[in-house]
Structure 1
Amino acid sequence: MLTPSIAETATEERTCPTALPSSGAPEWTVSGSTGSAAVTGSTDSTAPLVEVDGPFTVAETQVHTLKAGDGPVVAPTANVSVCYMGVNGRDGSVFDNSYERGEPVDFPLTGVVPGFQKAISGQKVGSTVAVAMTSADGYPQGQPAAGIQPGDSLIFAIKILDAKG
């Protein structure tokens, strides 16, 4: 029996791709109560693209699987590792972007806004998802440091790298 080399047993380092995506047809276009948003998910080598024809608002949070993963299902209380981009529907501005930093973010799903939890819970690890969330499922009182005003709908493009628990 051969012993695997260290290179074969080393865990893969997880990063978020920083390269801009090539132009192409979006994987999800969602019409809101006002405006619309088009989402192209990330790949192994490119970040996602979210384009907003605003102001974009939704009356109900909507989740769309851009690419289904083949890992285990993410539990509602899991600790996850994700790459994500958050975009404000009001003006199309990116308010947070782990892709830009090139590093995933780890957190418990119980500690995030409800819309983010709805987007990830029940998905499979390895999936790329998008969510268009109501203000109530995001930051109903706003988040001034991020430029989010009360009533703003938010769009996230998320790649689920790992989940535990």
Structure 2
Amino acid sequence: MRKVLAILLPLLLLLTACGGAPGGSSEPTVGRSAGAAEVFDSFSVSGGSDDEAPTVEFDSPLDITATAAKAVVDGEGDEIQAGQQVRFKLLGLDANDGEVLGDTYANEAQVLVVDDQLQTELPDLYDVLVGTHVGAQVAYTEPAPEAPEGSESTDPLPSQILLLRIVSVEDQPEPLPEPEILPQEDVQRLDDDGQLPTFTFDDDGAPEVSIPDTEPSEDLVVKVLEEGDGDVLTEEDTISANYSGWTYSSGEQFDSSYERGEPSSFPLTGVITGWTNGLAGQKVGSKVLLVIPAPWAYGDPAPGGRPSGTLVFYVDIVSKDTGQ
């Protein structure tokens, strides 16, 4: 349910194990750099393509004491301008021994917007990307975080290196308008005509959906199946909810907290627009049907293996995070 974050380090959680690819040598050139970029002086990148991760060699272990970014291989394509977005493939490495932690080369290229947010949160990476060319391989690292509070070990976590292969650059698309929410009288009319999804529940309370063989509304459909008596949600709230989601066209389930056995917690500012707009104004304890057109879900086609087209959700709003 969460939007793809524009911050790189959490992407390592999504990497799938994959070895390096053999090929001809590509010695690092003197590319753009920022921060303590001398840490990458021993980097050598060989092989690889848009579909296969390269092999990386360096003098290990690397002593990473400050944030660093460098184009260890220069590109020859279009120059990246501030405000554009790049598509990239990612390779993760352990800075201590060079072990490959994973990569995203088997998946579609992910999008990173080179904007003010990136400049604020990862300034060295921003400085390197602006002015670099498509095809570049950009290395990024920062000091390892401390061990989580309560951990048995007080040693810092291993340092990681992220190597981004810049696949393409493009201007950002125009922002979408806010979704129109279908008026409740029209929702009721669709319901009376049997043109809305309906739910049944198994012995464990998990929903199963029946989707009518009709075209979905072009507007966001919000139907309260059971109204709660708790606090009214705002778009800024963090909530806990049980939910299941299906594609409207096929009825295939693509996500469910019920299968994980516990509600999921997330901020309404960090989910797809259809959730943000559809759940704001609802009460804690409510059970809600959402039918979300593609522009306010993940798109059609959707990138990165996400579900495409109009989506259907059953949402049981369990609680609101009070911050206490």
Q: What TM-score, normalized to structure 2?
A: 0.37
The structure with the greater share of residues assigned to strand is 1
Shift of 1:49: 2.3
Pair 1:79–1:44, CA change in 2 (3 A): farther
Shift of 1:30: 4.7
Does 2:302 match 1:142? yes
What is residue 87 of structure 1 aligned with on the other side? 246
Gaps of 5+ in 2: 1-187
Shift of 1:120: 1.4
Amino acid in the other structure paired with 1:83? N
Shift of 1:46: 1.1
Tell whether the 8 Å contact from 2:235 to 2:280 is kept in structure 1 after alignment: yes
How big is each residue's C-alpha offset from its partner over 1:77-133, in whole Å with a ceiling of 9 and x where there is no partner? Answer: 100000000010111100101112111110100000011112211111010001111
What is residue 312 of structure 2 aligned with on the other side? 155
What is the correspondence of 1:50-61 to structure 2 with a 5 Å cutoff? 50-54=209-213, 56-61=215-220
Shift of 1:29: 9.4
Q: What is the CA–CA distance in structure 1 between the aligned matches of 2:291 and 2:314, rounded to whole Å?
A: 9
Does 2:199 match 1:40? yes
Tell whether the 8 Å contact from 1:30 to 1:38 is kept in structure 2 after alignment: no
Shift of 1:44: 10
Pair 1:61–1:131, CA change in 2 (3 A): same
Q: What is the CA–CA distance in structure 1 between the aligned matches of 2:276 and 2:232, rounded to whole Å?
A: 13
What is the correspondence of 1:101-140 to structure 2 with a 5 Å cutoff? 101-140=260-299
Amino acid in the other structure paired with 2:263? P
Shift of 1:40: 2.4
Root mean square deviation of aligned Cα: 2.7
Tell whether the 8 Å contact from 2:235 to 2:276 is kept in structure 1 after alignment: yes
What is residue 67 of structure 1 aligned with on the other side? 226
Q: What is the CA–CA distance in structure 2 between the aligned matches of 1:42 and 1:82, rounded to whole Å?
A: 17
Aligned residue for 2:211, secondary structure, equals strand
Amino acid in the other structure paired with 2:286? S
Bigger relative contact order (CA 8 A; separation at least 6): 1
Tell whether the 8 Å contact from 1:86 to 1:156 is kept in structure 2 after alignment: yes
Tell whether the 8 Å contact from 2:197 to 2:209 is kept in structure 1 after alignment: yes
Identical positions, percent: 32
Pair 1:84–1:29, CA change in 2 (3 A): farther
Tell whether the 8 Å contact from 1:125 to 1:163 is kept in structure 2 after alignment: yes
Specify the structure having the higher radius of gyration (Cα). Answer: 2
Gaps of 5+ in 1: 1-27
Q: What is the CA–CA distance in structure 2 between the aligned matches of 1:96 and 1:154, rounded to whole Å?
A: 11
Q: What TM-score, normalized to structure 1?
A: 0.70
